Every structure is written in structure tokens, then in C-alpha cells.
Chain A
Amino acid sequence: MDDIKVLLFGAAADRAGTRETQVPTGETTLEELWLLLAERHPGLSPMRDTLAFAVNGEYARGDTLISPGDEVAVLPPVSGG
């Protein structure tokens, strides 16, 4: 089974202790993927309400379907400027 690549940024990378991880799963939703991620990296859980997600480089909602080969990004509140 192929993996879903997950990139983590900023405070989320700190909390997870990694900037990139592979999650082995079939087709799923972003929300389901989050549960797998949070199980693996419990430090992320308290950030849940502040996080946004992107799938293949575009903001996506929790019910978005994702498949192996997709790139998911975990995005803390942006602070550019």
C-alpha cells in the first residue's frame, strides 16, 4: 500500500517532532488522517482547533477525500508579513 505524505510546518513540526512523515493508509478523509497523525504524534492534539490543512497545495476541509500519493500539509496559524 502506498503512503500519504504529510508535511508539518512551524509550531506543528515542533509539536510533532518531525517535519515530514508517511502515513500508510488507503483512500480516506482528511479528518481520518488527522486521527492517525494525532495518535502517532500526541503532542499535536492540543493544536487541533488552530490548525488548517492543505491537500496537494490547496486549503482543504476535513471531509476532503485523500488517496495514497497525495501530499497533505499541516498548517498552524500563518504569521507572514
Chain B
Amino acid sequence: MFAIVEEPIDVAALISSAQRPDCGAISTFVGTTRIDESGEASVEYLEYEAYRPMADRKLAEIGAEIEGRWDVRVVSIVHRIGRVDPGEASVAIVVASPRRGPAFEASRYAIERIKQVVPIWKREVWSDGYVWVGSQVGTRERAGLP
């Protein structure tokens, strides 16, 4: 299952739907929003946006790449967009495989590929402005932004 959602990700449901009698391993990677601080300012939340439907298709392509490389029986990738509060899941990857090796490797591969090719962007919303992560464009003066 590959999806971009605007509501909290139900990680437990993703895991239980990956349970199969022919698989001895389910690996789960959950990316959560981390709060950074600098000086007196701190990140209040992250806000994600996606170019759809390209982003949806790229998630499915990553799934196909994984199925071509490893013996996996279930690959689910769900990415959340919109406002994501501190500590909440922004992305969840669940891979079921007969053996643990491919499950671990494939979930690592999925998150690295997401960060390379899926057209999704996040901005950190700080108490004193925001910054687009990766572009360093935004409204925070303290970060030395234009």
C-alpha cells in the first residue's frame, strides 16, 4: 500500500496488515518530527506539501524497485502531509519478508529513496518564522535568511 495522507498514520494497522504466514519478519521504520532549538527560538511543528499525483507514483515506484531487489511479500509506504506536530509520524514504512535481512535492508532503502526522489517538501515552522528544509529559504531572520 502506497499512500499520501493528511491525517495521523495508523502504524499499528499497517503492521497488522503485513502479517503473513509465509513471512518471518516485518520491519517497520517510522520517521517522526524532531524539534530543533537555536537560541530562544524553537520549531513548533513541521508542515509538508507534495506534488501529487507524481509523489504518489514515486512511492509506488520505490515499492517496485524493492520488489525487484529483495524477496519481500509486503511493502507499505505512507507519508503524511500538512501540519505534523512534534513527535508525530510523518512517514511509515512496513516491509514483510520471509527473512529479516531483506526486511531490514528494504526498509532502509525505502527511506533513503524517499529523500532522493519523492516530490515532498517540509518547512520547519519556528516561533519566529519558517524555513524550507533543504532550500534554506524562509522568513526566519535569525537563521540568516534573506
B75 lies within 8 A of chain A by Cβ: no
Cβ of A15 within 8 Å of any chain B Cβ, yes or no, is yes
Size of interface on B: residues with Cβ below 8 Å to A: 30
B137 at the interface (CB under 8 A from A): yes
Q: Which of A10-43 contact B (CB under 8 A)?
A: 10-12, 14-15
Question: Which B residue sits closest to A47, measured CB to CB?
Answer: B135
**Interface size of A by Cβ–Cβ distance < 8 Å?**
21
B117 adjacent to chain A (CB < 8 Å): yes
Q: How far apart are B34's CB and chain A's nearest CB, in angstroms?
A: 11
Q: Would B119 and A79 count as touching, CB distance under 8 A?
A: no
**Minimal beta-carbon separation of B86 from chain A (angstroms):** 16
Identity of the chain B residue whose Cβ is nearest the Cβ of A73 in the assembled complex: B51
Tell whether, in the assembled complex, residue B138 and residue A78 are in contact, meaning their CB atoms are under 8 Å apart. Answer: no
A80 touches B118 (CB 8 A): yes
A15 and B91 form a contact (CB under 8 A): no
**Known: A10-B135, A50-B135. Is A58-B54 also a contact (CB below 8 A)?**
yes
Expressed in whole angstroms, the Cα–Cα distance for A10 and B137 within the complex equals 9
**Are the C-beta atoms of B120 and A80 separated by less than 8 Å?**
yes
CB B95 to nearest CB in A, in angstroms, measures 16
A15 to B53, CA, bound (A): 23
Q: Select which of B54, B116, B123, B132 is within 8 A of A54 by beta carbon.
A: B54
Residue of B nearest to A7 (CB): B51
A and B contact pairs by CB, cutoff 8 A, 22 listed: A9-B119, A10-B132, A11-B132, A11-B134, A11-B137, A12-B135, A14-B132, A14-B137, A47-B135, A47-B137, A57-B51, A57-B57, A73-B54, A76-B135, A78-B117, A78-B120, A78-B134, A80-B91, A81-B31, A81-B90, A81-B114, A81-B115
Please list the 8 inter-chain residue pairs (A to B) with the smallest Cβ-Cβ separation, ordered nearest first: A80-B120, A11-B135, A10-B121, A11-B137, A11-B132, A77-B134, A79-B134, A79-B133
A residues near B (Cβ < 8 Å) are 7, 9-12, 14-15, 47, 50, 54, 57-59, 73, 75-81
